[in-house]
Amino acid sequence: MGNRIRVSVLLASLLALRGAAFAQTQEGETKTDVQAELQRLREELQKYSAEVKQLQETVAKSTAKSDDVTTQGRVIYRSTCEACHGRLGDGKGPGSRPLNPQPRDFTTGNYKWRSTPTGSLPLDSDLFRTVSEGVPGTAMPSWKKLLTREERYAVVQYVKLFSPRFKDEPIDEPIAIADPPPRTPERLALGRTAYEKNKCGDCHGTLGKGDGPSAPTLKDDKGVKIEAFDFTSGVFRGGSSDADVYRTFTTGVAGTPMPQYEDPLTEEQRWALVQYVKSLLEDRGWFGYVFRKPTDPW
């Protein structure tokens, strides 16, 4: 076939690549609106809380018993979760081995992405949100398009059965998240000071690339090696809005060396730290787009 076809194919490829990189840049720019982010997160949390509440009420009114809901959850779990999280919910499914981070071990009741304080069990809406949105940059997919609300709710109820803690322990109230303060150079400097003073760079690196001196030694509570988070990627596993990152700093990441900073840092310092780590995002253009692994959720 002629040169014309070869040139056309090459040009089409370059255009597609450039278009994708442009779309990525546009997405990054719109996410800088702090107030809009917070509003979106609040709406999202409200939506999930409202949905869970509605689903709970429906279960209470319906002829189906709670056993039916967990049985439905078991059917869903079998086909969508068991491959990684295992039949016993211990995170040792047949597909779990090469995954990093490793799938959650439901038997411990420790969950990374919570709106509740450190050490507390998560709310149903926290689990519902994780199942729905997935965890960006990991093998945990977003299920909101493939499973109905009822199916996601049912699987949350089934997952809770793996840990006796859900039967025995009360769940704490979620932490309050106030309006984020405006971005100012002073606050950015305060965040940098907090980053240095609390030795965040030991794990995350001086420039936040996840390459600190302690990074190679990090392990989760199962003794599996894990990577320190790279702030320059701009995609945070617990959610990328300022409020999401603030929540992660406040509650910590259970089962990992990432501690909670509710005690050592004031609210003002945590917001400043949020602003600082988000300022570490690097725009690497098309080169970064090609040579960096995608971190959007599955």
Residues that bind another protein (CB under 8 A): 1, 5-6, 9-10, 13, 16-17, 20, 23, 47, 54-55, 58-59, 62-64, 67-69, 71-72, 75, 78-80, 82-84, 93-95, 98, 100, 132, 134, 139, 141-151, 154, 289-294, 296, 298
Residue 42 or 47 with smaller CB distance to another protein = 47
Instruction: Compute the distance between CA of residue 131 and CA of residue 155 in angstroms, rounded to an integer.
Output: 9
Q: How far is the CB of 17 from another protein (least distance, A)?
A: 6
- Kindly report whether the peptide bond that precedes residue 101 is cis, defined as omega within 30 degrees of 0: yes
- Region label for 180, one of left (φ > 0), alpha (ψ between -120 and 50) or beta (otherwise): beta
Residue 25 or 198 with smaller CB distance to another protein = 25
Nearest one of 130, 131, 135 to 115, comparing CA atoms:
130
Residue 27 or 173 with smaller CB distance to another protein = 27
Q: How far is the CB of 179 from another protein (least distance, A)?
A: 25
Residues facing 225 on adjacent strands: 219
Q: How far is the CB of 272 from another protein (least distance, A)?
A: 32
Residue 30 or 63 with smaller CB distance to another protein = 63
Residue 144 or 165 with smaller CB distance to another protein = 144
Residues facing 219 on adjacent strands: 225
**Dihedral sign for Cα atoms in the order 284, 285, 288, 293:** positive
Q: How far is the CB of 23 from another protein (least distance, A)?
A: 8
Residue 40 or 144 with smaller CB distance to another protein = 144
Which residues make Cβ contacts (< 8 Å) with residue 48, sequence separation at least 6?
A: 125, 128, 129, 132
Q: How many H helices and E strands in the chain? A: 12, 0
**Structure-token pair, residue 235:** 């995609």
Instruction: Compute the distance between CA of residue 205 and CA of residue 53 in angstroms, rounded to an integer.
Output: 42
Residue 76 or 245 with smaller CB distance to another protein = 76
Q: What are phi and psi of 219, to 5 degrees?
A: -140, 155
Q: How far is the CB of 286 from another protein (least distance, A)?
A: 11
Q: How far is the CB of 27 from another protein (least distance, A)?
A: 12
**Structure-token pair, residue 186:** 């002073």
Q: How far is the CB of 143 from another protein (least distance, A)?
A: 8
Following CA atoms 210, 200, 281, 224 in sequence, which dihedral angle do they give, to the nearest 10 degrees? 30
